[in-house]
Chains A and B, each alone.
Chain A
Amino acid sequence: MSEKLLFPSDEWVNEYCKRLKESSDYNKAGKGWKEPIIFRMTEIENLKQKPPFDSFILYLSDGICEKCSVVTDPNMEAPYKLTATYSNWKKIIDGKINPTQAMLTGQMKVEGNVAHLLRYASAAIAMVKVAQSIPTQYLE
């Protein structure tokens, strides 16, 4: 795949879920995790281009992404929610900040059972590596 996918977009999220399924690193590190996660972007009003949505959800189970979708209902709940500014999501995907560090410094806010989440921090690293493998175009 040489064509860049816009982040965020339906295509990007679907590609992400597909690549997570295929990632042996994520398959290994995500084993035992059985909860969906909402990924939310904030401060998108500062962007010149408006994104098609500000949240998406991944249904993860035992190292596999079973399905994904855009979150259209702002009141939708999930056991875990990761929130960061669009700019910080870009830094995480680009590898400029480590997701564990992002959580520790408050650049990424975590909602959910933090003690449980921390045990899967290596899965978070694997997820970032997968995200980095997607040729991505960002909004300005």
Chain B
Amino acid sequence: MSIFQFPRKIIFQRDILEDITPTLKDEKISSILVITDKIVRGKVEKKLSSVLKNFDVIVYDDVNPEPEIKQIEEVSKSLRSNVDAIMAMGGGSVIDFAKSVLIKMTYPDKDLRDVNPFEKLDFRIKLIAVPTTSGTGSDASFGIVLTDGDRKLALANYNLVPEIVILDSSVTPDSAKIISATGVDALVHSFEAIASNTSTILTDALAEKSIEIIFHNLEKSIKGNEESRDLMHLSATMAGIAFSNSGTALAHALGHSFGSTFHIVHGISVGLFLTHTIEFNSRDEAIKSKYEKIARMLGFSDISSLIEGIIFLYRKIGQPVRIRELGIQERDLNAKMEELVSKAMMDSEIAFNPVIAGEDDLRKIFTDAF
């Protein structure tokens, strides 16, 4: 038996946010806590003003990238909890922040570090996700990634999948850096969903299609092509549904560890390890066949060509291929090696990797990735 969890409703259309009032009213929503960041607020406030005037709205716009547990705990105490819905409008950090606030509002005494997939969380408040990047997939996933001191925590609970997702690519950024990093994140989600030891034909179908769309549209999206941005926005959510129902794997365990140690943006960080984990996981014949199928789908002859193709895409979109391109010195990487390996071994995502990785394997990958 597999249990698949999806958002109850996904609305996908460019500029749909301006017409979202009937949808929200149909959901019996009259009061909304909007959680966002200052940049997104500045971009969408005018677009949304005619919508939000129909509701009793509070706005919290002080979310920072890579949200900290400590900040969430403090902020949750001060926010009004008698709302019908929380609308998370922003990238992965904003959506994860909103999911965490939802937990703390409903269960004030719960330690966020204890969130796990085995418990039932009962939320009275509806969670609406409006992702403004394409994307972390947090809008469709059961996961939250939070910062706890110097480490990243990947937490999950099936009741955290947002009920309603509004995909309006008109609110996605024009910044090449952001489009590249979030697009790479979606690409890695898709590859990892396929490799995961709990993958199914359903998650494979979503992930394969996402890979195809991202490969052909990420560069065009950076160059401003509207249709490509629309497709990227939907495929990032598809990748989110895929990994939420199959897990991510080794690239995320490595990326979380590396990102928290060297303060590197998530998408860039996990992207550094994708090709290395494809090589590592190809030891498993079943996964090797899956990668070969992806290679053929993209027009490559074999896994080596697929890896070269990924590197070629990275070069076109400005994604670093090697750790050294981030300006990190080899001696600094070596000085942090044991910390990197230890964090990665403790990351719950490593459990979904099809090939069991030990400390020596991780050391080698971190070294090879330099």
Listed in ascending order, the chain A residues whose CB lies under 8 Å from chain B are: 24-25, 27-29, 31-32, 97-98, 100-101, 103-107, 110, 114-115, 118-122, 124-126
Chain A, Cβ-Cβ closest to B158: A104
Contact partner of B1 (CB less than 8 A), chosen from A31, A107, A115, A125, is A107
Extra inter-chain contacts (9) besides given A25-B356, A115-B116, CB under 8 Å: A97-B1, A98-B197, A100-B247, A101-B1, A101-B198, A103-B117, A122-B357, A125-B197, A125-B356
The answer to whether B49 has its CB under 8 Å from any CB of chain A is no
Cβ–Cβ < 8 Å partners of A114 in chain B: 114, 116, 118-119
Q: How far is the CB of B71 from chain A (nearest CB, A)?
A: 20
The 4 closest A-B pairs by CB, nearest first: A28-B358, A121-B351, A122-B351, A118-B348
Specify which of B114, B116, B119 lies most central, judged by the most chain A CB atoms within 10 Å of its CB: B116
Contact partner of B351 (CB less than 8 A), chosen from A27, A100, A110, is A100
The answer to whether B75 has its CB under 8 Å from any CB of chain A is no
Query: What are 25 residue pairs bridging A and B, where the CB atoms are less than 8 Å apart in the complex?
Result: A24-B358, A25-B356, A28-B356, A28-B358, A28-B361, A31-B345, A31-B358, A98-B197, A98-B198, A100-B197, A100-B198, A100-B352, A104-B118, A107-B1, A110-B118, A114-B116, A115-B116, A118-B351, A119-B348, A120-B351, A121-B348, A121-B351, A122-B351, A125-B351, A126-B356
Chain A, Cβ-Cβ closest to B119: A114
Q: With A and B bound together, what is the CA distance between A110 and B350 in angstroms?
A: 19
The answer to whether B174 has its CB under 8 Å from any CB of chain A is no
Cβ–Cβ < 8 Å partners of B346 in chain A: 32, 119
Cβ–Cβ < 8 Å partners of A107 in chain B: 1
Q: How far is the CB of B134 from chain A (nearest CB, A)?
A: 28
Q: How far is the CB of B158 from chain A (nearest CB, A)?
A: 8
Q: How far is the CB of B152 from chain A (nearest CB, A)?
A: 13
Contact A105 B359 (CB under 8 A): no
Cβ–Cβ < 8 Å partners of B352 in chain A: 100, 121
Cβ–Cβ < 8 Å partners of B115 in chain A: 115
Number of A-B contacts defined by CB within 8 Å = 69
Cβ–Cβ < 8 Å partners of A24 in chain B: 358
By secondary structure, the B interface counts as loop
Contact A124 B118 (CB under 8 A): no
Cβ–Cβ < 8 Å partners of A125 in chain B: 197, 351, 356
- Given A122-B350, A122-B356, A126-B356, A103 and B345 touching (CB < 8 A)? no
Cβ–Cβ < 8 Å partners of A115 in chain B: 113-116
By secondary structure, the A interface counts as helix
Interface mask (B339-361 → A, CB under 8 Å = 1, otherwise 0): 00000011110111100111111
Contact A104 B348 (CB under 8 A): no
Determine the interface band of chain B, counting residues with CB < 8 A from chain A.
20 to 34
Specify which of A98, A118, A119, A124 lies most central, judged by the most chain B CB atoms within 10 Å of its CB: A118
8 A Cβ contacts from B99-126 to A:
113-119
Contact partner of A29 (CB less than 8 A), chosen from B113, B116, B117, B356, is B356
Contact A118 B116 (CB under 8 A): yes
Chain A, Cβ-Cβ closest to B250: A122
Q: With A and B bound together, what is the CA distance between A124 and B198 in angstroms?
A: 13
Q: How far is the CB of B164 from chain A (nearest CB, A)?
A: 24
Q: With A and B bound together, what is the CA distance between A34 and B205 in angstroms?
A: 39
Contact B359 A31 (CB under 8 A): yes
The answer to whether B201 has its CB under 8 Å from any CB of chain A is no
Contact B3 A105 (CB under 8 A): yes
Q: How far is the CB of B11 from chain A (nearest CB, A)?
A: 28
Q: With A and B bound together, what is the CA distance between A113 and B194 in angstroms?
A: 29
Q: With A and B bound together, what is the CA distance between A107 and B2 in angstroms?
A: 11
Cβ–Cβ < 8 Å partners of B198 in chain A: 98, 100-101
Q: With A and B bound together, what is the CA distance between A59 and B2 in angstroms?
A: 31
Cβ–Cβ < 8 Å partners of B359 in chain A: 28, 31
Specify which of B113, B117, B347, B351 lies most central, judged by the most chain A CB atoms within 10 Å of its CB: B351
Chain A, Cβ-Cβ closest to B114: A115
Cβ–Cβ < 8 Å partners of B361 in chain A: 28
Cβ–Cβ < 8 Å partners of B351 in chain A: 100, 118-122, 124-125
Chain B, Cβ-Cβ closest to A114: B116
Q: With A and B bound together, what is the CA distance between A62 and B100 in angstroms?
A: 33
Q: With A and B bound together, what is the CA distance between A104 and B361 in angstroms?
A: 28
Q: How far is the CB of A105 from chain B (nearest CB, A)?
A: 6
Interface mask (B214-249 → A, CB under 8 Å = 1, otherwise 0): 000000000000000000000000000000000100
